[in-house]
Chain A
Amino acid sequence: MKRKLLLFFAVACIGATGTLRAQGIKAIRINEVLVFNDSGYRDNYGVCGSWFEIYNTGVRTLSLGGCYITNDPNTPKKYRIPKAAQNATLPPKTYALFFAYNEPSRSAFHVNFDLADTGFIGGGRAFLAIYDQSGKELIDSVSYLVSAQVPNRSFGKSEEVKNPEWELAGNPTPMALNHISNDMSRAEIYQQKDPHGWLITITSMLVVFLLLIIIALVFKGTGSYFKKQALKQQAADAPKQAAVSDAPSGTPEDEVAAAIAAALHLYADDCHEVEDNGFYLHRTFNQPSPWANKSLNFKRNPIRK
C-alpha cells in the first residue's frame, strides 16, 4: 500500500512538474500589436516600425530564448529568438517588445517579417503567432485585418482582466500596461467593428428610408385631410355659386365652353402651335434713314433780320 502511495506521489510530482513547465511557457502571450507606427515609439535605430509586445502573465520568470515567432501558419519556425539574447528572460508581469519591419539583423528583438504582410492567410488579414522552443506547440496567435488598422493605434489585451479579449488599446503603450480605453474616436471604433463599411451602409439606408417613409405617410395623411376639407368647402360653396350663376345670363359658361371646344379642336386636329419649350424675345431695330432723322424734320426758326 505504501509503495502504491509513493508511486502515485512520484507520478503526480513528475506530472505536476511537466504541467508547470508547460504552463510556464504557456503563460506568455501576445499582448499588444501596432501595425502602422508612423510617428510613435522608435527602436534604437530611430525607426518607427511596426511592433508587438509579449507579456508574461505568469508568476515565474520565463525565458523566451529558443521560442519561435512567425507570421505564416505554415512556417512556425520562421524566426527563432536567440537563446543567448539579452533581455530574453521575462520576470512575472513584464514585457518584451519586438519590432517587425523585416530587419532581423538589427537585434534579437527585430524579427524577419512585417506585421502588415497579408500574404499568408488571405482575406486581407495578417497573422502573428508565437511557438514554444520545439516549434510545434502554439502558445498564442492573433490574426487581424490590415486595412482596418489605424496608424499609431494599437490593439491589445487588458492585463487586469481574466481571459481578456482583443480590444482597441487606443494610444500605444509599448512595454507598459495597456490602456484599453474609450478615448478612441467613434470613427476608429466603427472602423474596427465594421472595416468594410457594410453595417453603417445598411443601417443608414434603413434609417433614411424609414424616415422618408414616415414623412411620406404623414403628408399623405395630412394631404387627404386637406383634400376632404377642400371638398367640404366646395360643397358648402356650391349653392352660393349656383345662386350667383343663376342670376345673370349664362354668358361666362358659354365662353368657357367655347374655350374648351377650341382647345379640344386644336389638340385633336393637331393644329395647335408647335411648342418647343422656348421663350423668345426679338429686338426690333429701326433702320436709320434720313427720313427718320428728327433733326432734318425740324422747322427752321424764323430769323429776324
Chain B
Amino acid sequence: MSFAETISENISTFLSFTGFANATSGHLIMILIGLIFLYLGIAKKWEPMLLVPIGFGILVGNIPFQPGFQIGIYEDGSVLSYLYLGVVKGFYPPLIFLGIGAMTDFSALISNPKMVLIGAAAQFGIFGAYLTATALGFNASEAGAIGIIGGADGPTAIFLSSKLAPDLMGAIAVSAYSYMALVPVIQPPIMKLLTTKKERLIRMKPPRQVSQTEKIIFPIVGLLLTTFLVPSGLPLLGMLFFGNLLKESGVTRRLANTASNALMDIVTILLGLTVGASTQATTFLTPKSVMIFGIGALSFVIATFSGVLFVKFFNLFLKEGNKINPLIGNAGVSAVPDAARVSQDVGLHYDKSNYLLMHAMGPNVSGVIGSAVAAGLLLGFLG
C-alpha cells in the first residue's frame, strides 16, 4: 500500500469516527432542543439553574459518535456513565432534598397548618397523569413514573422513575423540569379562569410568628409522622427533614450551609448535566417520549386546577375574614418557589398591596411533602 493510500485510508477512518459521519436527524433534533433549553435558561432566565445544565447535557448526550469507545452515557465504563450512576441508583435526588430541606423555611406552613391540605389537593395532578398514562397503554410501573411529573418536583420524578421505569427516566426528567420552568406560563391562565375578581382580592391574615422551638419540632415530628405511614418515602422525606433540622437547630449552621450551598450546587450540576445527556436521540426520540410530554403538560394543568378548586371548596367552610385567596391554590404543585411566586405575581396584578408570597409558601412546601409521599406510595405499590 502506497504512502498516499495509507494516508487516504487513515483520513477516511478518521472521518468515519467524526460526529459528522455518525450524525442522524435524531441527533440534530435533540441538539436543537438542547439549544432551545439554553436559550430559555440564558436569554429568558427561565429556571437557569436547571435548564442550562440540562440544555448543555442534551448537547453532550447528542454528539454523534461510534459506539464502543466508552464515550456515551449508556456505555459501560465511560466517565459519563459513572456520573449517571447517581441518577440510575437514585442517590442524587435525596441529596437535592437535603439541600432543599436546608433552604426551606416551613414557618408559613407551621403558622397556618390548614394550608397543608392545599398541597394534598394538588397531588391530583400525579394521579390524573397516572390514570391517563394507564389509559394510553403504559404499564403500571411506567404510568406511576410518568404520573409523578404532576408532582412538579424534578428530584422526586427522577427518584421514582429510576426505580419504576429507568428506560423512561430521561423523558420524564426533561418533561418535569421543562414544565417546572414553564410554571409562570402554564398556571396564570388557569388561575384566572377559575377565580372571580372578588376572590382574587381576598386578603389573608398575616401569619403568626413561629417560635424557634416549633421550627425544630417540625422536621422531627414531620419525619416520624410521614415515614411511619409511608416508609417507602424515607429516602426523600428523611433527607428533606434532616436538612431542615440542620437549618433550624441553630447549632449546625456550617452543615446547613454546606447542604444548601456547596453540596446542592455540586449535585445540581451533576444531576442536570447527566439527565440532559441521558436524552440520547437513539433512546429518547420515541413516540413514548412524545406521549410523556403530553401527559406531563396535562398533569400540571390538573394539579393547578385541583389546587385552586380545592381552595374555593375549602372557603365554603371558612368564616368571612378567615377565607383563603384561591390564587395560592396553584402553589400546592411544589415547584418551589416558582409556583408561590406565580401566586404573588397574579395577586399583585389585581391588588398592588396584597402580598400572597408568604401565604403561598405554605401550600408550596406542603406540595413537596405531598409529592414525596405520593412517590413513596407509588413506589410501595408498584416498586
A residues adjacent to B (C-beta < 8 A): 147, 150, 185-188, 190-191, 194-198, 200-201, 203-205, 207-220, 222-223, 226-227, 230, 274-277
Nearest-CB distance from B150 to chain A (Å)?
12
With a cutoff of 8 Å between Cβ atoms, the chain B residues found around residue A217 in the complex are 113
Which listed residue, A186, A187, A190, A227, touches B208 by the CB 8 Å rule? A227
Contacts of A196 on B, CB cut-off 8 Å? 131, 134-135
Query: Does B369 sit at the interface, judged by CB under 8 A?
Result: yes
- Which secondary structure characterizes the binding site on chain B? helix
CA distance A18 to B370 in the complex (A): 66
B305 in the interface, Cβ–Cβ < 8 Å? no
> Given A188, A209, A215, which contacts B113 in the complex, CB threshold below 8 Å?
A215
Q: A220 to nearest B CB, angstroms?
A: 5
Closest to B233 in A: A211
**Chain B minimum-CB-distance residue to A277:** B348
Task: Kindly state the separation between the CA atoms of A26 and B92 in the bound complex, as whole angstroms.
Answer: 59
A216 with B117: CB separation less than 8 A: yes
| Cβ of B143 under 8 Å from chain A | yes
* Cβ contact within 8 Å between B214 and A150: no
| B226 contacts across to A, CB distance below 8 A | 211, 215
With A204-B374, A204-B381 in contact, is A212–B127 under 8 Å at CB? no
Is A200 a contact of B214 with CB atoms below 8 Å? no
Chain B residues 101-143 with CB under 8 Å of chain A are: 109-111, 113-114, 116-117, 119-120, 123-124, 127, 130-131, 134-135, 137, 139-141, 143
Interface pair A216/B127, CB less than 8 Å apart: no
Tell me the nearest residue of chain B to A190, going by C-beta. Answer: B140
Say yes or no: A187-B139 contact (C-beta < 8 A), given A212-B119, A219-B113.
yes
Tell me which of B131, B229, B352, B382 contacts A187 (CB under 8 A): B382
Are B225 and A207 in contact, CB atoms less than 8 angstroms apart?
A: no
Q: Does B366 contact A (CB under 8 A)?
A: yes
**Contact of B117 with A213 in the complex, beta carbons under 8 Å:** yes
Q: Which residue of the partner chain, among B111, B225, B381, contacts A223 with CB atoms under 8 Å?
A: B111
Report how far A187 CA is from B377 CA in the complex, Å.
12
Interface 9-residue window, one of B43-51, B215-223, B260-268: B215-223
- Which one of B110, B120, B135, B213 has the greatest number of beta carbons of chain A within 10 Å? B120
Q: How far is the CB of B171 from chain A (nearest CB, A)?
A: 18
Q: Nearest 7 pairs between A and B by C-beta?
A: A197-B134, A191-B140, A187-B141, A219-B113, A216-B113, A187-B382, A201-B127
Task: Name the residue on A nearest B143 (C-beta).
Answer: A197
Inter-subunit contact B370/A208 (CB<8 Å): yes
Which of A195, A208, A214 meets B134, CB within 8 Å? Answer: A195
Q: What distance in Å separates the Cβ of B111 from its nearest Cβ neighbour in chain A?
A: 7
A-B pairs under 8 A by CB, number = 133
Do B377 and A218 touch across chains, with their CB atoms under 8 A apart? no
CA distance A200 to B128 in the complex (A): 11
10 contacts between A and B (CB under 8 A): A186-B381, A187-B141, A190-B140, A197-B130, A204-B377, A204-B381, A212-B369, A215-B116, A226-B214, A274-B352
Q: Which of B113, B211, B369 has the most CB of A within 10 A?
A: B113
The chain A residue sitting closest to B224, CB to CB, is A218
Residue B35 at the A interface, CB < 8 A? no
Q: Which of A186, A188, A212, A275 contacts B352 (CB 8 A)?
A: A275
Interfacial residues of chain B within 337-355, with CB under 8 A of chain A in the complex? 348, 352-353
- Asked if A212 contacts B120 (CB within 8 A), the reply is yes
Pairwise interchain contact B208-A147, C-beta atoms closer than 8 A: no
Of A201, A213, A216, A230, which contacts B130 at CB under 8 A? A201
Please tell me if the beta carbons of B111 and A211 are within 8 angstroms of each other in the complex: no
A209, closest chain B residue (CB): B120
Are the CB atoms of B110 and A223 closer together than 8 Å? yes
Closest B residue to A205 using CB positions:
B127
Question: Do B141 and A230 have beta carbons less than 8 Å apart?
Answer: no
Rounded to whole Å, the gap between the CB of A139 and the closest CB of chain B is 32
| B144 close to A (CB within 8 Å) | yes
By a CB distance below 8 angstroms, the chain B residues around A197 are: 127, 130-131, 134, 140, 143
B214 and A207: CB pair below 8 A? Answer: no
How near does chain B come to A190, taking the closest CB pair, in angstroms?
A: 5
Does B259 make an interface contact (CB < 8 A)? no
CA distance A200 to B127 in the complex (A): 9
Other-chain residue from B116, B131, B214, B353 in contact with A212 (beta carbon distance below 8 A): B116
A-side contacts of B285, CB under 8 Å: none
Chain B residues whose C-beta falls within 8 Å of the C-beta of A277 in the assembled complex: 348, 352
* Residues on the B chain within 8 Å of A275, using CB: 352-353
Within 8 A of A (CB), among B56-114: 109-111, 113-114
Known: A197-B130, A218-B221. 6 other contacts (CB 8 A): A197-B127, A198-B131, A204-B127, A208-B373, A212-B117, A215-B113
B298 touches A (CB below 8 Å) = no
**Chain A residue, CB-CB nearest to B111:** A223
A227 CB contacts on chain B under 8 angstroms: 208
* Central interface residue in A186, A197, A207, A277, by most chain B CB within 10 Å: A197
Please determine whether B230 and A207 come into contact, CB atoms closer than 8 angstroms. yes
- Complex-state Cα separation, A125 to B119, whole angstroms: 38
Interface residue B164 (Cβ < 8 Å from any Cβ of A) = yes
Task: Give A10 Cβ to nearest chain B Cβ, in Å.
Answer: 60
Known: A186-B383, A191-B140, A197-B131. A209 touches B378 (CB 8 A): no
User: Which listed residue (A209, A219, A276) contacts B218, Cβ 8 A?
Assistant: A219
Beta-carbon contact of A218 and B370 below 8 Å:
no
A226 vs B234: C-alpha distance when bound (angstroms): 29
User: Which of B114, B217, B369 contacts A222 (CB under 8 A)?
Assistant: B217
Kindly provide the distance from the CB of B286 to the nearest chain A CB, expressed in whole angstroms: 16
* B250-298 contacts to A (CB < 8 Å): none
Contact A205 B123 (CB under 8 A): yes
| Pairwise interchain contact A200-B381, C-beta atoms closer than 8 A | yes
By beta carbon, the residue of chain A nearest B370 is A208
Separation in Å of the B40 CB from the closest CB of chain A?
23
Bound state CA distance, A218 and B143, in angstroms? 33
Please report which residues of chain B, range 220-253, place their CB below 8 angstroms from some CB of chain A when the two chains form the complex. 221-222, 225-226, 229-230
- B204 → chain A, closest Cβ, in Å? 16
CA distance A215 to B369 in the complex (A): 11
From residue B310, how far is it (CB to closest CB) to chain A in Å?
10
